Amino acid sequence: MTMDKTPLAAVERDKLLASLGATLRDDLKAGRRTGVLVLEISQFKRIQVTYGHARTQEFLRELMRRLVDALPKKDKVFYRGGDEIVVALCGLRVREQLNLAINKIQRIVAEPVVLCGNSLRIGLTIGASVTLETPIAPEDLLHQANRALLEARDRQRETVIFDPSLEDEGVASLELQSLLSDALERNELVSVFQPKVDIRTGQVVGVESLARWHSHLLGPVRPDLFIEAAENSGLIGRLTIWTINNAAKQYSLWGEQAVPIAVNLSAAVINSPELQRQLRHALSIWGMPPEALSLEITETAVMEAPAHSMESLRFFADMGIRLALDDFGTGYSSLAYLKMLPVSDLKIDKSFVQNLASDASDRKIVKTIIDMAHNFDLKVIAEGVEDEKGYQILMDMGCDIVQGYLVSKPLKPEHFRKWLLEEQWRRPAQAGRRPACA
Ligand code: G
Ligand code: G
Ligand code: MN
């Protein structure tokens, strides 16, 4: 295989859906069916760790090339980022043709790929869906294939084709999406704010804004569930703009007590021009200086769409906004790439932080991350600090900032001010006072 250095760009969700939508219309008119396959490469992380970023890209390219060569010209192959490829099979006459295509793909990938002189044989897990005679929206057909993939993973099967019995949860998630859309209009969402403190002085250096939703129909909905529903339904743009506007408003309401606010940015919105416009707008209306806003972007999100994200990250950084790599340690960043990112903070994922006191290998990982981050002039924030031992260990390791239940749970805005004034947190070394909770 020859080296191609340009990064393999992940297709944007909007483009994927538009292309699939066009196929669906054509096939419906011609009385044909459309199939969608979501392919997941098994053991992808292992491949990345073993061979590194550049060779993994090379490997992905080769795989894409094989798929494109083997499938009919009209079919479409998309790289969706990470370990996922989406295939649209066009003009199927009968449902059985879906099985034929799946068999063919399994045969293609069974041929080993030669990487670094090693012959690499990979496995695929496939989720599939196919249209019936009735029209279906591209996002629904894709959703069905995603559901089938989850089912295949759960049951450890190579392939699952969607059928309506899998739909129970699917319906629940569609319902969540439509309720969430209403919730944004009805103003049912609120933001809570979790303090971050300087590990040495105990001073509050900022807060992270976290969205909460109490639905009038469902009651409280878990944030990871509704954030995922927002991402899957395209509502995440509206939700993020709402969150940023709310943060800027809160900053202005806090007045003298205002501290910098961090907002989470999903991968799907990093490159949205509308978001960039609305962000400027929100800061200017509420008089929030850009330096007081920080955007948290997961390590995985940044690594999955490198070339494309870089411009947007620069745009934010040039405005004076701080950028933080969130959930760090859960992805596989290439160090060379990290150096090029205009980020100023790195947040160590809570899964490495929670058991610091009892887990020696977590201690090693955290120490390594802190040292590496400092070499790149990044500030290190440890999230999920729950006990004083962990706090002390982090201080000894030279961590800069901590966030977690030990300091405070996320607080409602009116409680934050009170907490700040009355219950000002003291770091364990200074005083043994119990931290305040929401
Ligand atoms: O808040 P925890 O409170 O349970 O949040 C769960 C997940 O939801 C976290 O990964 C967090 O980053 C994410 N999250 C919370 N609020 C927001 C938000 O406003 N936007 C985005 N994109 N993610 C959020
Ligand atoms: O993914 P992100 O880092 O944006 O989300 C932070 C998540 O961590 C939120 O869900 C928040 O409620 C949660 N969190 C914050 N502090 C702690 C903590 O000390 N322990 C645990 N288990 N979760 C925490
Ligand atoms: Mn975060």
Residue with CA closest to ligand 2 atom 12: 410
Which residue of 193, 226, 264 sits with most ligand 1 atoms within 8 Å of its CB, as the best mutation to test the pocket?
A: 264
From the list 251, 262, 108, the residue with the least C-alpha distance to 194 is 262
Q: What is the pLDDT of residue 4?
A: 54
> Which residue, 133, 163, 193, sits at the end of a domain?
163
Assess if residue 128 is contained within a domain.
Answer: yes
Is the distance from CB of 207 to CB of 416 less than 8 angstroms? yes
Q: What is the pLDDT of residue 49?
A: 81
pLDDT tens, position by position, 185-241: 888 999 999 999 999 999 999 999 999 998 877 778 889 889 988 988 889 999 999
Q: What is the pLDDT of residue 120?
A: 79
Assess if residue 105 is contained within a domain.
Answer: yes
Q: The domain spanning residue 306 has which CATH number?
A: 3.20.20.450
Residue with CA closest to ligand 2 atom 18: 384
Distance from Cα 383 to the centre of ligand 3, integer Å: 8
Q: What is the pLDDT of residue 17?
A: 95
Q: What ligand is nearest to the CA atom of residue 224?
A: 1
Which residue of 210, 231, 297, 300 sits with most ligand 1 atoms within 8 Å of its CB, as the best mutation to test the pocket?
A: 210
pLDDT tens, position by position, 141-198: 998 898 889 888 877 889 999 987 776 655 567 678 888 998 998 889 999 999 999 9
Is the distance from CB of 318 to CB of 276 less than 8 angstroms? no
pLDDT tens, position by position, 65-100: 999 999 999 999 999 988 899 999 999 998 888 999
Please indicate whether residue 224, judged by its CB atom, sits closer than 6 Å to ligand 1: yes
Q: Are residues 351 and 292 in the same domain?
A: yes
Q: How far apart, in Å, are the Cα atoms of 356 and each of 79, 353, 394? A: 37, 5, 9
pTM tops 0.75: no
Take residue 307 and report the two structure tokens written for it: 């070339």
Give the span between the Cα atoms of 398 and 380, in whole angstroms. Answer: 9
Identify residues whose C-beta is under 5 A from ligand 3, the ion.
264, 296, 326
Distance from Cα 54 to the centre of ligand 1, integer Å: 31
Distance from Cα 373 to the centre of ligand 1, integer Å: 24
Which residue of 192, 224, 245, 275 sits with most ligand 1 atoms within 8 Å of its CB, as the best mutation to test the pocket?
A: 224
> Which residue, 136, 163, 190, sits at the end of a domain?
163
Q: Are residues 40 and 185 in the same domain?
A: no
- What are the helix and strand counts (H, E) for the chain? 15, 16
Q: Are residues 157 and 185 in the same domain?
A: no
Q: Are residues 231 and 132 in the same domain?
A: no
